[in-house]
Amino acid sequence: MELLDTIKSLIRAKLDQNALFDLVYDNQNNVSGYIATDLLTEKSEKTLNSEVWKIINENIVKKDKLKILALFLETQKDRTIRLNKNENNDENNIAFTNKCYVHHSVDGSRYFGFIDVAKFGEQYKTFYLAMNEKYNYKNGMIYNYTKDVISFMEINGSDLYKELYGNAFENLKTTIRMHIINRYEENAEKNSLFGSNNIYSYVYNNFRIEPCELSVNAFTMKEKELLIKGFEKIFECSIKEDVLRIIAISNNIVQEDLT
């Protein structure tokens, strides 16, 4: 039986026969996703999470258990809200499945940002990548979390995934913000524009990045060139595969000038 199906069968047999699942495999054949159960209305998330992992630990062999990246618990009502995409997009409530972000700057340019978390055996890798076409800018970082580092962090399961994802998200946001702060300082020095007179002053009190959907028309030619270069050193992961696939498809679109 597939690992994904094994998890479903175990949870339904030993915890909640009415549980619903949104589980997927990633590029490394690891399993991650959501378990929707109304037991969350009766028990705390911490208690229920412990019960889920007790079932997994007692019934799934280690080599398969290592391929479980993250399992997020939610009520069935929360599942409906999530699937309808009506959840709150406040950055204080990060949706941990978002992997593509955008920020529209006041100078008319836009920043794209990408993050992902992947599991390789007993170690994890995360990355963030930011880019802006106007400034021919790309910046990013890969983080390797070895087995010893993970053990030192003393968290596991979905809490570990959230911690690693949250770190990557904050690093991405900080990287884009710092690039805009540099624009503020350059504008201040060159044109003697300070405070609210400087168009980039918003970065100090009204800066955020928003989740965005990928599409074949998402990127300009220059953005695609920057992304291809930016993803060259990134490990295999779902967002890299999605972006490069979309770029390949968009490059096959034939455009006709009607003038």
Per-residue pLDDT reduced to its tens digit, 32-91: 888 999 999 998 888 998 899 999 999 999 888 888 888 888 898 888 877 775 444 444
In the structure, what pLDDT confidence band is assigned to residue 93 with cuts at 50, 70 and 90?
very low
Work out the average pLDDT over 234-246: 91
Q: Which CATH number fits domain 3-83: 3.40.50.300, 3.40.47.10, 3.30.300.90, 3.20.20.450?
A: 3.30.300.90
Give 48 or 258, the one with higher predicted confidence.
Answer: 48
State which amino acid sits at residue 77. K
Mean pLDDT, the chain, as a whole number?
Answer: 87
State both tokens at 183.
């624009």
Number of CB atoms found within 10 A of residue 48's CB: 18
Transcribe 74-136 into DSSP letters: E-HHHHHHHHTT-S---TTS--TT--EEEEE-TTS-EEEEEEEEEEETTEEEEEEEEEETTTT
What is the SS3 string spanning 53-68? HHHHHHHCCHHHHCCE
Question: pLDDT digits over 128-184, tens only?
Answer: 999 999 999 999 999 999 989 988 888 777 788 889 999 999 999 999 999 999 999
Q: In the chain, where are the structural domains located?
A: 3-83, 100-250
pTM score of the predicted model: 0.75
What pLDDT score was predicted for residue 178? 95
